[in-house]
Amino acid sequence: MIRFDLTCESGHASEGWFRNGDDCDRQLDSGMVSCPECGSTAVSKGIMAPAVARATRSKADTRAAMEAYRRHVMSITEDVGDRFAREVRDMEDGFSEPRPIRGTATSDELRSLHEDGIGFSVLPPAPPTH
């Protein structure tokens, strides 16, 4: 996964996590990425600097960052449930409008999407609250 700084046409800054640079470009070009502040799909990548891992980040900081990321993803995506793989294929094949979605899929469905070169990201499970 790679993080890109994103900016919409109104100048709102956000960030997005993608499988790689090509996946980011594909999602941006197809309008699948929207600004969390105004909803615009006219979003572009900003200039990036390599991220350097900080050894001082606490588990609580990491948990908070992951929870914030999950909340963000949940707020900007449509839940399509177990129809995820079918919906992704329909968008890829032009049978439905590209939009940010989330849902569930079997490992075989995910493997098939990957083998067919269809990009997607897996959202890690929520961390335990205890």
Whole-angstrom CA distances from 19 to 83, 118, 128 are 21, 11, 25
pLDDT tens digits for range 113-129: 999 999 888 887 776 66
The rounded Cα 72 to chain-centroid distance in angstroms is 10
Residue 123 CA to residue 97 CA, distance in Å, equals 22
Domain ranges of the chain: 1-48
Question: What pLDDT, on a 0 to 100 scale, did the predictor assign at position 16?
Answer: 86
Over the stretch 76-117, which tens digit does the pLDDT of each residue have?
999 999 999 999 999 999 999 999 999 999 999 999 999 999
| Each residue's pLDDT tens digit, 26-80 | 899 988 888 888 888 999 987 665 655 556 667 778 888 888 888 899 899 999 9
CA-closest candidate to residue 7, choices 39, 32, 31, 42: 42
